Structure 1
Amino acid sequence: MDDGGIQEEPPSARFLTPTRSGGTRWVDGSEVDSSESAALSLGDERSGETVSAEGSAAATGPASRVSSGTFRRRLGKRPRRVDSLDVEAMNVRGAHGHSSKELTMLSTIAMAFQTLGVVYGDMGTSPLYVFSDVFSKVPIKSEVEILGALSLVMYTIALIPFAKYVFIVLKANDNGEGGTFALYSLICRYAKVSLLPNQQRVDEDISSFRLKLPTPELERAMFVKDCLEKKPLFKNILLFLVLMGTSMVIGDGILTPSMSVMSAVSGLQGQVPGFNTDAVVMVSIIVLLLLFSVQRFGTGKVGFMFAPILGLWFINLSSIGIYNIVKYDISVVRAFNPAYIYLFFQTNGMKAWSALGGCVLCITGAEAMFADLGHFSVKSIQVAFTAVVFPCLLIAYMGQAAFLMKNPLAVERIFYDSVPGVLFWPVFVIATLAAMIASQAMISATFSCIKQAMALGCFPRIKIIHTSKKIMGQIYIPVMNWFLMVMCIIIVATFRSTNDIANAYGIAEVGVMMVSTVLVTLVMLLIWQTNLFLVLCFPILFGAVEFAYLTAVLSKIREGGWLPLAFSSLFLCIMYTWNYGSVLKYQSEMRGKISLDFILDLGATLGTVRVPGIGLVYNELVQGIPSIFGQLLVTLPAMHSTIVFVCIKYIPVPYVPLEERFLFRRVGQKDYHMFRCVARYGYKDVRKEDHGFFEQLLVESLEKFLRREAQEIALETSTMEAERDDISVVSEVPQSPASEGDLRTPLLSDQRSGDDNRMGTRDDSAPVLPSSSMSAEEDPALEYELEALREAMASGFTYLLAHGDVRARKESFFTKKFIINYFYAFLRRNCRAGTATLKVPHSNIMRVGMTYMV
């Protein structure tokens, strides 16, 4: 079988076509039931394991020639699979992926309005503190400082968020999903760079996985692909960049609430008599406590308020800006001339370079435009920024600059001093609400990053609560919420000034931007196949600007810039250690697999007593029999009559469609009653399952699998008998209507209407099986196996788990021993158990001690 690169073909059935060598090869098609394709043999899987559907028919040689008609009949169009164990996805219709239909103009405008409350809160509140921080480094001596700083802010916004993110980075989305992990998963699909060796050829048949690989003629893309795949150093560097970017987003999530809330509350200083710094700190802490306390209720109930409030905020910014420009100095429009940037640096020297650290605050939150893409469309984010956010921010900063032209001493409270007196309290209320919404966006982004890191095996399992049954992205992580709250309160109480927090703020943001620049450049080389000159222009132009800002913010490490670096380093160590230990553990499990020959030698009783019941053996292997099963055979006095090896596997795609989630196959002979189930999830899929419903769906899926397997055998037998008189050639395709219908015979005709209505995957155009195939009632072997399955289900389910202890080998280096035996072991002891996701009763769980030497 040809397991090479994915061939992009129009939707069609998957057929066997002749090759020059006389064998056959697979031609990909989107209508094939991927779970039972011959690709499921997994290459190095033991041949003794029989695969339902195509597994038994994928043999080469004379036998395949004789059964060529069988191939053609069995590889016709099939209805979508209906077996799935995902409960939450069944409650959220159309939750997986984005609709392929084009949004109307009205829908795009409505969605663009909604982005104001989710995406642009952080960037929208930056006028509260940008100029006050910039001019704390560069004192105002003439109009050159004001116009230079204004020009610097204007062109920074135009270059980074507008040019880079709106027109380039947003296009590098992963099936509508954005963020650092989305870029990484996109690269993982085009090049095998994942350190966890659990990739399967059949995963490439998932509809959301489908892609157009670089053509062999494009040597540059293939060279990059080979370098990434063949050199472990590049894989580790890429993973390090992704984890570093993610950890910096988390670090940013710690500082954003502190900075935004304190900037808004500080407006009361000077307005309310006796409202000093201590009062600002206390009120800020109270607001932060309120903000983090309501997280457990979710944002769904108050989400509709976000966009109107931010919309009103942007209207206030532009209105006050126009008022100040007209009243004080309309000549600030001269700042559109970039020559003032040169004069600014020429006049102030190193102070101007230090002021870049304050200027970068005007683009904080720009990464949210890409990270929050999954909730919106590219066009809606582009429309909102181009039509509302960009012009309103420019007018706001120009208005503040005009005010400073006449009032240069009002730098410390520039935003509130520039507000007309009669509008102070309404603007203060709106500013405080906008600051809380901006904080909410970063808190939610932190939760999302943690969830994606957990899905890709880069973060320990912790409790995740889904606060909405309709919106999958709304989650709440209690541990992270309280950690963020404590850190924010400590920051506010320690720094006590927005200028001091601003010294720490910005480092994480610039770091994330540089990581996205590197990853998007890699996407251009590997996937987009962009012209080499344009590829080089992207990192040179944007990378140079971001590097200049990075050097400026790094100069403030002693003044507080160490704080986000410390937080980012902590989470980077946690994520990298967890990924490193998980990879070593998986490799140890691969080495310790039990030979199928050994299991077959034990016989159908497995060398013990088989009692009624279903044993779910949870493991991480996608192929082979895990070592825990041998430990179970030795430890337990009896074994369940039906054994299912369950593997929860995450694919580098945002969502796995419901009908493509599960792969079933048989392990050993029929009388062994052993099966493997690989449950595939995307990194943004929701796993929120009740164990009772989980078990019911498992049995239903297994029944459908057994029926399909029996129909396959019956269809193959009847077809081979008919072909004894008339053997067809593989390349011949009958043209008659009757033969055409026969070729498109589905493999599953006994779908119940209830299943079809529930899953919405019924294919009314699919014909039924020919009368020659044997029904379930006429097949005593199938009826016996189904009855045995029902009897096992009636006896109950038992979850068989390994209580694993991972230890470094004695000959390992000291560093490895320290990381694995202490740090990784500590994370494993304190992470959430896998069965907690299913809420399985303790009486249904059996654990066996295992030690993995890595």
Structure 2
Amino acid sequence: MALANNGSEAEATEQPEHSGVEQHSTKVLMLGALGVVYGDIGTSPIYAFREALVAASGSELTKREDILGVLSLIIWALTIIVTIKYVMFVLRADNRGEGGTLSLMALARATFQKRSALVLGIGMVGAALFYGDAVITPAISVLSAVEGMKVVTPAFDPYVVPLTLFILAILFSVQRFGTGGVAMIFGPITAFWFLAIGASGIVHIVDDPEVLLAINPYYIVHFLINSPGVAFVTVGAIFLAVTGAEALYADLGHFGRKPIVLAWLSIVFPCLLLNYAGQAAYVLAKGGEVGHPFFEMNEGWALIPMVVLATAATVIASQAVISGAFSLTRQAVQLNMLPRLEIQHTSERQSGQIYMPRVNFILAIVVMLLVVGFQQSSSLASAYGISVTGNMLVTTVLLFVIMTRIWKWPLSVAVALTALFAFIDFGFFISNIVKVFEGGWASLAVAFSVVLVMWTWVRGSRYLFEKTRRNEIPLDFLAGNLQKKKPQLVAGTAVFLTSDPMSAPTALMHSLKHYKVLHEQNVILSVVTAPQPVVPDSERVKMETINELFMRVTLTFGYMEQPNIPKALAICRKQGWKFDIMTTSFFLSRRSLKASPSSGMPVWQDRMFIGLARTAADATEYFQIPTGRVVEIGTQVAI
């Protein structure tokens, strides 16, 4: 069962950690965050500076002013978008410790009860765009690193794509061991990666120390004014340097805010700036020849180790968006934007560390298809920016709602900050949207597919709820009538599982309708999941007697516990409910959905919703109920 996290119950919190994170050492979590959160943005130096220079000059030698302008754009993009927007503001907008677009949506939606559909739609688009990023990042990151072998020897060219696919297959196969286990392996490697690229940058800054002057935004203005023909395209390429910022927020629930902020300010940000400055100095020292500066400036004995380290780092970079996709999918399930999917919790200390087999499989297939289809990282670069910039725009819009309606900031402050963020985000978005036909269609196709699935599930669930609600009977009303006029009673206990303990379960109503009998004891049972890993037996069961025929029971399980209904019901004996499992029958309602032209949805969408509904986990197996004691009563519902 997913944790309940409805938009109406969402609360804005500015707590730096949630309970699971507090049990960890901050230093250990910082190391883990390096491996999971910053892998994506940490490998951008491999291709971002090169792509920006190519956009600025083509294949010709790059002018000194253009190189300093590109470097200045990267410095200020990292400062404003990542350091100011995400680290200082967005990370504070957590939803009970969880981050991501849907967390912001849930918080904002709670403040617009009458216009929640609009906010829901904005969040849905943002989430879908994140999935577009989640499939591009592993493909371009690993492919760009493996391409570094061509700098060593051009003879390696035919093996780039096969080796990339092999590495990706290994990456997705280890996800089942959990984010925590992966982070403890990836963290030290990523820490060494940042130190290595920082040192590499320092070595070459001395080639032309004037690159340090690029911190002055004057060089940005000079570049944009004097190179208007290429500035627009260059800005789109510059954005490659900040991809990964949204994954930083989506992974908030894995490590908490404090370790993520400290890792960025103390290690990631300084090392990135040093490496970009070193690449700029190296290109200036070569007279403006672009080439592949990241690998070329590690000449001699350092080249092959750097290629190997870059390959390892890009594998880790993919982890940030993969784990972010898991978190985002779980939130979508909790918010009823997707059907319930299998969620495996991989840590007893943190609820955010999860593994989702089906999501992992789909991501793996799409990522590998992109590698095979595009073949080169430079081709994938065109597909990269659209989904990320769109997602960042959505985050900016939702953050404005949080600032004004939940944090209660003065409107002037919120407008000023939002205008700054929106101006930059929109500029990046416009410069990337022109790449649709060059490869950007790939990420948009993924995002469109996700929006279609979410929209179908939300719309179909609403129609199904409205249809079944017309036939619902309040449980207390039914129990009172049956107490006055009892039907034929049979020995034993009947347990009816339901998600709504206040209404008569469908299985109960159909049992009365068709069998014309009622058990001597009838239990209306609901199962809830607590926001803690383990629930003690003393808090497991809550019982409420309705009358001598009916009783309402609620079972509570921790998020790390596998629900076991028969075992939990045994605790009821201590509270006075005597029952024998061998004379107890469990009744489950199973709806058989049928497409109907009168549902309000097109028939194709009806069928898509029905297909999604069939993906829900089997209740008998999930709750570990003995199959010999289960009676499933099915009904056909036309939607």
Normalising by structure 2, we get a TM-score of 0.90
Deviations 1:592-616 (A, max 9, x none): 1125444433338951333213x33
- Counterpart of 2:168 in structure 1 is 288
* Shift in alpha-carbon separation, 1:562–1:650, aligned structure 2, 3 A: farther
Q: CA deviation at 1:664?
A: 4.1
Match of 2:522, SS state, is: strand
Letter in 2 for 1:159: I
Tell me whether 1:111 sits opposite 2:32 in the alignment.
Answer: no
Letter in 2 for 1:318: G
* Shift in alpha-carbon separation, 1:811–1:177, aligned structure 2, 3 A: closer
Whole-Å separation in 1 of the counterparts to 2:534 and 2:356: 25
Tell me whether 1:254 sits opposite 2:135 in the alignment.
Answer: yes
Letter in 2 for 1:510: T
- Counterpart of 1:838 in structure 2 is 623
Tell me whether 1:696 sits opposite 2:614 in the alignment.
Answer: no
Whole-Å separation in 2 of the counterparts to 1:665 and 1:301: 39
Whole-Å separation in 1 of the counterparts to 2:317 and 2:519: 54
* Shift in alpha-carbon separation, 1:689–1:141, aligned structure 2, 3 A: closer
- Counterpart of 1:686 in structure 2 is 559
* Shift in alpha-carbon separation, 1:523–1:640, aligned structure 2, 3 A: same
Letter in 2 for 1:838: F
Tell me whether 1:309 sits opposite 2:189 in the alignment.
Answer: yes
Unaligned runs of 5+ in 1: 9-95, 192-224, 708-785
Whole-Å separation in 2 of the counterparts to 1:664 and 1:302: 38
Larger mean Cα displacement after TM superposition, 396-405 or 615-624: 615-624
Match of 1:252, SS state, is: helix
Instruction: Choose between structure 1 and 2 for higher RCO, CA contacts under 8 A separated by at least 6 residues.
Output: 1
Q: CA deviation at 1:378?
A: 2.3
Tell me whether 1:416 sits opposite 2:334 in the alignment.
Answer: no
Alignment RMSD, CA only? 3.0
Whole-Å separation in 2 of the counterparts to 1:315 and 1:291: 23
Whole-Å separation in 1 of the counterparts to 2:545 and 2:462: 25
- Contact 2:534-2:559 within 8 A present in 1 as well: no
Match of 2:193, SS state, is: helix
* Shift in alpha-carbon separation, 1:626–1:499, aligned structure 2, 3 A: same
- Contact 2:351-2:532 within 8 A present in 1 as well: no
Deviations 1:56-115 (A, max 9, x none): xxxxxxxxxxxxxxxxxxxxxxxxxxxxxxxxxxxxxxxx94279799xxx434433332
Match of 2:559, SS state, is: coil
Q: CA deviation at 1:362?
A: 0.8
Bigger Rg, structure 1 or 2: 1
Deviations 1:726-753 (A, max 9, x none): xxxxxxxxxxxxxxxxxxxxxxxxxxxx
- Please, which of 140, 150, 163 is the counterpart of residue 269 of structure 1? 150
Whole-Å separation in 2 of the counterparts to 1:650 and 1:183: 22
Where does 1:226-375 land on structure 2 (aligned, <5 Å)? 228-229=112-113, 231=114, 234-276=115-157, 278-326=158-206, 328-375=207-254
Q: CA deviation at 1:572?
A: 1.5
* Shift in alpha-carbon separation, 1:244–1:642, aligned structure 2, 3 A: farther
Tell me whether 1:400 sits opposite 2:279 in the alignment.
Answer: yes
- Please, which of 78, 85, 93 is the counterpart of residue 172 of structure 1? 93
- Please, which of 265, 278, 281 is the counterpart of residue 386 of structure 1? 265
Tell me whether 1:802 sits opposite 2:589 in the alignment.
Answer: yes
Whole-Å separation in 2 of the counterparts to 1:260 and 1:325: 25
Structure whose residues are more often helix by fraction: 2
Larger mean Cα displacement after TM superposition, 440-449 or 401-410: 401-410
Match of 2:589, SS state, is: strand
* Shift in alpha-carbon separation, 1:628–1:612, aligned structure 2, 3 A: closer
- Counterpart of 2:5 in structure 1 is none
Whole-Å separation in 2 of the counterparts to 1:411 and 1:793: 78
* Shift in alpha-carbon separation, 1:394–1:134, aligned structure 2, 3 A: same
Tell me whether 1:154 sits opposite 2:154 in the alignment.
Answer: no
Whole-Å separation in 2 of the counterparts to 1:530 and 1:554: 33
Whole-Å separation in 1 of the counterparts to 2:347 and 2:274: 38
* Shift in alpha-carbon separation, 1:588–1:703, aligned structure 2, 3 A: farther
Tell me whether 1:565 sits opposite 2:456 in the alignment.
Answer: no
Deviations 1:745-797 (A, max 9, x none): xxxxxxxxxxxxxxxxxxxxxxxxxxxxxxxxxxxxxxxxx3xx32x334254
Where does 1:47-86 land on structure 2 (aligned, <5 Å)? none
Deviations 1:620-657 (A, max 9, x none): 32422233321122234754443232345689xx6699
- Counterpart of 1:677 in structure 2 is 554
| Percentage of identical aligned residues | 31
Match of 2:585, SS state, is: strand
- Counterpart of 1:847 in structure 2 is 632
Q: CA deviation at 1:302?
A: 4.5
Letter in 1 for 2:480: L
Letter in 2 for 1:673: F
Deviations 1:517-551 (A, max 9, x none): 12221111111110110111122110111011011
- Contact 1:134-1:355 within 8 A present in 2 as well: yes
Tell me whether 1:124 sits opposite 2:42 in the alignment.
Answer: yes
Whole-Å separation in 2 of the counterparts to 1:699 and 1:172: 42
Unaligned runs of 5+ in 2: 1-7, 12-16
Letter in 1 for 2:414: V
- Contact 1:455-1:650 within 8 A present in 2 as well: no
Deviations 1:297-341 (A, max 9, x none): 435445322221111111111100010111x21111121121211
Letter in 2 for 1:593: E
* Shift in alpha-carbon separation, 1:365–1:838, aligned structure 2, 3 A: same
Letter in 1 for 2:481: D
Letter in 2 for 1:285: L
- Counterpart of 1:822 in structure 2 is 607
Q: CA deviation at 1:658?
A: 4.6
Larger mean Cα displacement after TM superposition, 518-527 or 827-836: 827-836
Whole-Å separation in 1 of the counterparts to 2:589 and 2:478: 21
- Counterpart of 1:710 in structure 2 is none
Q: CA deviation at 1:240?
A: 1.3
Whole-Å separation in 2 of the counterparts to 1:582 and 1:650: 21
Letter in 2 for 1:284: T
Whole-Å separation in 1 of the counterparts to 2:441 and 2:53: 22
Q: CA deviation at 1:142?
A: 1.0
Whole-Å separation in 1 of the counterparts to 2:185 and 2:175: 15
Whole-Å separation in 2 of the counterparts to 1:415 and 1:826: 48
Tell me whether 1:793 sits opposite 2:580 in the alignment.
Answer: yes
* Shift in alpha-carbon separation, 1:648–1:360, aligned structure 2, 3 A: farther
- Please, which of 107, 127, 133 is the counterpart of residue 51 of structure 2? 133
Deviations 1:231-277 (A, max 9, x none): 2xx2111111222222222221111111111111010003124112x
Q: CA deviation at 1:481?
A: 1.9
